[in-house]
Structure 1
């Protein structure tokens, strides 16, 4: 045997980080294009790309969630904001792509065309069905868009005077595939769905057809065709005031956001959600031990976030002296959780694609990224320059700056404390461009890693870990230096 199997390495008394280990190469009998990264986010939700964006206020709002879902991952909207703001972010993700839109924006023929300008400004679109009373299940009379009113000077003109009445529709009960064929042939941007009395039942958009074609791996709800999105909540007593509107907005998964998840408060929150909303999946955490994991799984968690104090902006281990080395935590917790059918998310300490490969190899089903996504154009915040370098702000949710907002304090169970102890810092990261180009780059790097190991799926990777096919070595400092770029005056990537 050339190296050591995971069971031998992690029986040691030393905790290991990703950089402490190197995976030995396996046998390749497939091409990179044969590799599929589809994996479980939770017991019931699968992703084509095993990447989740962290629920941090400098990482994930609706732009990040949309772009990541289009690439096959999922974004978790942070809760360091008002309930209305968080709900609106979820709604924006859900409105971005639909199958049958059952609650479209509607107008009546008596309303003025100024309403179209308002809707265009508020929602960013203007293709609007016109029904008899401006409501669903009312007779469809026409369609109107911004181009129908662009040159009409009198903004008080009735919509009924400018709307398009030569309509192409589809009958209620038809499939999405049938609808898309009609959209292709008609070249219309909207297709109303009507019943036998010509009452409007739903709406289908051409843009959604284009998105299905352009993003075949996108994370979608199979029933509604909407993009998947998650949202974080805390364990505060009033958190149900946030949970209920999030679920009404269509959120697909709730993440209970806590630095130390093994608490009475989180267990109560999990049980409350499962009792009131049994169909919603819950990602619980954070945990780093099997004892922590057991309590949350017993309470009803559908997935676990693993990691404590190892993020680039996190100081929990330094301030509190509590946490665990991430590679060890991922391996130990994933072994236990897998025996109960619960997937884990490796959260923190991921700086490159090699770390993603190692996290997946050690048993994680997905990885959660913070700093690696904070520098993209799709994260919240403005790009600015310092010393000629393009930067964006990135802060830990345990930083004093973030804890000035109540929800972040709740994550660290410190909302009622007069003295705030920082468990994170605020900093900056270099910009990385758009998620639409950055994620495919990460995915390709991960695929090359799996190919070198000899696995064409994440499920096979986990099987190879369990049966001892995958071997590791513990690296010395000299070995780490050799494995990094060295001996050059300068270089380009």
Structure 2
């Protein structure tokens, strides 16, 4: 019979017991029970002593770059183009622009991201007095913004004459008229040497849309935009450089021809290059990493994909600034099925991340993320950030096409980069190589072996609502675990204060909705 003890001694009596749950190394001991993936375990709760809003999700995505939200969008041609990359950066994450397109087209997407938000705009679009209103309208359509300065020579460091705004040209019928016929000349300007904070205050008080910065001769040297002020207010977590431009990443293959592509991307303002390959431990990727680090020392390199320490060591030694982890775990990927190569994602993330951490190299868990809980588990196992494909493919900002499924649901096209649909899509590659074929080393194969599938995903609406839901969910999860930030989470996992429990098939069923006749699974409201 159990002796009933004094309840005030409960914490003292607790010391007689070993800690609940498993240390991460015991959990992932594949010799004992095989390798695990995200659904195979749970993280045990800790003690809540702070609000979820106090949780910081700031993390490094490469050796040099830090972002406030540990989420990335995948470089897939139905997931990330400039629109996704812009909004991921605005929301605190990072978008990686795919390379299944001609190099000039990809560079143009990078340029659109870099021009979307600025501090002092050092290379504004400038019109000359001879520019027509029709040409100004075309520039507005191309870049997605209006408000162009007009100078005597149509260049920077030339005398400022006026500014043409969208309102000036919107209803002007004669498109052959010069912009000087409609431009505003009653300008508020600021002198060279004005700080960004001072310039923002002048702009705020002026109620103008643009603030030209001019030298003593009245020549334009830079520009400030009111829209950027508003973006600072609406998107406080945005991933930015000190110049206030959005952080931008883009993918290249290991193919030699992509060295030309890379030069165009760098010229467009690229910050981070992702060397995209299904199996990252190849002489081709190692050579590409070394080339990039030698030729473009200011560009950080994320290498991969890998799933073992041996692969990680080779890429780290080559100079990689970040690593992508995952092989065959993506929702549209069949590599493990057809190649018999890969690794369950939980085991891969823990093994590679623990090794890479010894060299200060951040890791990105790429693939196998089906829900919010999987994001938290990837971060707990050591990943600095998590990359998503299918979760974001159904959002408004992805480039996939909408259609109505046979069940009457609104869905969006989504395809794995190893699918036959991508490998045989000649329209995408243009002057460059086909990114799907290059990623899977299949450029010269007579018989293409698919390592992915094409399909569709349910419409999720805009990421401006979906990503904040993910962020809030991760914050609440860390609150439940009892840690204030991702460093504390990883430290707790390594020291054993954050514990885990394996889940049987029955436990997994118990953890999902069950026992209801009908139910609606609404994930968030805002």
Length-normalised TM-score, structure 1: 0.98
Is contact 2:249-2:273 (8 Å) kept?
yes
Taking the aligned partners of 1:113 and 1:350, their CA distance within structure 2 comes to 49
Establish whether residue 285 from structure 1 lines up as the match of residue 297 from structure 2.
Answer: no
Q: Which residue of 2 aligns with 1:234?
A: 253
CA deviation map 1:163-190 (0-9, x unaligned): 2222111112212111111111111001
Q: Give the Å deviation of 1:2.
A: 1.1
Is contact 2:393-2:400 (8 Å) kept?
no
Question: Among residues 42, 55, 59, which one is paired with 1:22 in the alignment?
Answer: 42
Q: Give the Å deviation of 1:105.
A: 1.3
Q: Give the Å deviation of 1:150.
A: 4.2
Establish whether residue 372 from structure 1 lines up as the match of residue 391 from structure 2.
Answer: yes
Question: Among residues 180, 192, 198, which one is paired with 1:172 in the alignment?
Answer: 192
Taking the aligned partners of 2:170 and 2:331, their CA distance within structure 1 comes to 50
Taking the aligned partners of 1:62 and 1:165, their CA distance within structure 2 comes to 33
Q: Give the Å deviation of 1:151.
A: 4.8
Question: Among residues 441, 445, 450, which one is paired with 1:422 in the alignment?
Answer: 450
CA deviation map 1:360-386 (0-9, x unaligned): 001011000001000111101221111
Establish whether residue 397 from structure 1 lines up as the match of residue 425 from structure 2.
Answer: no
Q: Which residue of 2 aligns with 1:11?
A: 29
Taking the aligned partners of 2:64 and 2:78, their CA distance within structure 1 comes to 28
Question: Among residues 193, 196, 203, which one is paired with 2:223 in the alignment?
Answer: 203
Establish whether residue 136 from structure 1 lines up as the match of residue 156 from structure 2.
Answer: yes
Establish whether residue 161 from structure 1 lines up as the match of residue 181 from structure 2.
Answer: yes
Relative to structure 1, is the Cα distance of residues 20 and 152 closer, same or farther in structure 2, using a 3 angstrom cutoff?
closer
**Secondary structure at the counterpart of residue 30 of structure 2:** coil
Is contact 1:394-1:426 (8 Å) kept?
yes
Q: Give the Å deviation of 1:470.
A: 1.1
Q: Give the Å deviation of 1:296.
A: 0.1
Establish whether residue 451 from structure 1 lines up as the match of residue 479 from structure 2.
Answer: yes
Taking the aligned partners of 1:155 and 1:318, their CA distance within structure 2 comes to 59
Q: Give the Å deviation of 1:153.
A: 4.3
Q: Which residue of 1 aligns with 2:328?
A: 309
Q: Which residue of 1 aligns with 2:293?
A: 274
CA deviation map 1:94-148 (0-9, x unaligned): 1111111111111122333332222223223331111111111111111122322
CA deviation map 1:271-314 (0-9, x unaligned): 00000011110000001000000000000000100010011110
Q: Which residue of 2 aligns with 1:352?
A: 371
Q: Give the Å deviation of 1:246.
A: 0.3
Q: Give the Å deviation of 1:85.
A: 1.1
Establish whether residue 332 from structure 1 lines up as the match of residue 360 from structure 2.
Answer: no
**Secondary structure at the counterpart of residue 393 of structure 1:** strand
Relative to structure 1, is the Cα distance of residues 318 and 173 closer, same or farther in structure 2, using a 3 angstrom cutoff?
same
**Secondary structure at the counterpart of residue 270 of structure 2:** coil
Q: Number of residues paired by the alignment?
A: 492
Root-mean-square deviation (Å): 1.2
Taking the aligned partners of 1:301 and 1:288, their CA distance within structure 2 comes to 15
Taking the aligned partners of 2:174 and 2:116, their CA distance within structure 1 comes to 31
Taking the aligned partners of 2:479 and 2:39, their CA distance within structure 1 comes to 20
Taking the aligned partners of 1:154 and 1:57, their CA distance within structure 2 comes to 39
Establish whether residue 488 from structure 1 lines up as the match of residue 506 from structure 2.
Answer: no
Q: Which stretches in structure 2 are left out of the alignment for 5+ residues?
A: 1-18, 426-433, 522-526
Q: Which stretches in structure 1 are left out of the alignment for 5+ residues?
A: none
Relative to structure 1, is the Cα distance of residues 393 and 155 closer, same or farther in structure 2, using a 3 angstrom cutoff?
closer
Taking the aligned partners of 1:88 and 1:125, their CA distance within structure 2 comes to 15
**Secondary structure at the counterpart of residue 178 of structure 1:** helix
Q: Give the Å deviation of 1:152.
A: 4.3
Q: Which residue of 2 aligns with 1:2?
A: 20
Taking the aligned partners of 1:367 and 1:148, their CA distance within structure 2 comes to 45
Is contact 2:418-2:440 (8 Å) kept?
yes
Question: Among residues 430, 434, 440, which one is paired with 1:412 in the alignment?
Answer: 440
Q: Give the Å deviation of 1:159.
A: 2.7
Q: Which residue of 1 aligns with 2:502?
A: 474
CA deviation map 1:338-363 (0-9, x unaligned): 01111100000011111111110010
Relative to structure 1, is the Cα distance of residues 429 and 109 closer, same or farther in structure 2, using a 3 angstrom cutoff?
same
Taking the aligned partners of 1:245 and 1:226, their CA distance within structure 2 comes to 18
